[in-house]
Amino acid sequence: MSLSAQLDQQRATSAANIPPELMAIMSDATQQLRLSGLVEQAPKIGDTFMHFELPNQLGQTRNLGDLLANGPVVVTFYRGGWCPYCNLALRAYQQHLDTFAQFGATFVAITPELPDISLTTTEKNELNFEVLSDINADYARALGVVFSLPGEIRTLYAKFGVEVEKHNGTGQFDFPLAATFVVSKDGIIANAFVNADYTYRMDPQDIIATLKTL
């Protein structure tokens, strides 16, 4: 089943199991994010992708320049290991990792979660790619793909048992948009997916189609 189909299935499951009044709160927050203009300001195809230097789940520093020296780089952002949509996407990308590598591409994920937490996410999903911790969401904010979780959603997530501060650090409620970028070896964005709705992600087949052109 494609990632897009899996996400459709997860949306249907959520709609069936979450009370309508709570779904309405989340839908309204997503709509407000759409209207904020943040997506329109995000990096686009043809832009130079901003340099990063971030620790992976083992605390080892990785930077974009070193990764690009080996070929194209695919960068995906995710909210946290507590998010079912994120986990579906991460597992789908893992399944296509060998195909990405056939085109010389390195795949990395970036999350605001602390390294110890991202390590748990990596182990739980049996990921063989590096997960980089963007502490305080500083890099994603500089890139222009960060929003602050509204108060009513923080309360709602707490009711769902999601302890955001446990994952991101005390006082940290900033999340990246659902975003994936395919960056060519020269650092230029060859494909970009940025969505205000976290239930949508770039499908692996779209990544592969782009890598074929590089």
Contact 127, 92 (CB under 8 A): no
Each residue's pLDDT tens digit, 19-77: 999 999 999 999 999 999 999 999 999 999 999 999 998 889 999 999 999 999 999 99
Contacts of 110 (CB under 8 A, 6+ apart): 52, 54, 75, 76, 77, 78, 131, 132, 133, 134, 139, 140, 176
Percent of the chain with pLDDT over 90: 92
Residue 154 pLDDT exceeds 90: yes
Helical ranges in 18-128 per DSSP H:
20-35, 38-41, 64-68, 84-95, 97-102, 115-124
Q: What is the mean pLDDT of the chain?
A: 95
Q: What is the pTM of this model?
A: 0.95
pLDDT, residue 180, reads: 98
Domain boundaries, the chain: 3-213
pLDDT, residue 119, reads: 84
Assigned superfamily of 3-213: Glutaredoxin (3.40.30.10)
Residue 78 pLDDT exceeds 90: yes
pLDDT, residue 20, reads: 94
pLDDT, residue 58, reads: 86
116 pLDDT tier (thresholds 50, 70, 90): confident
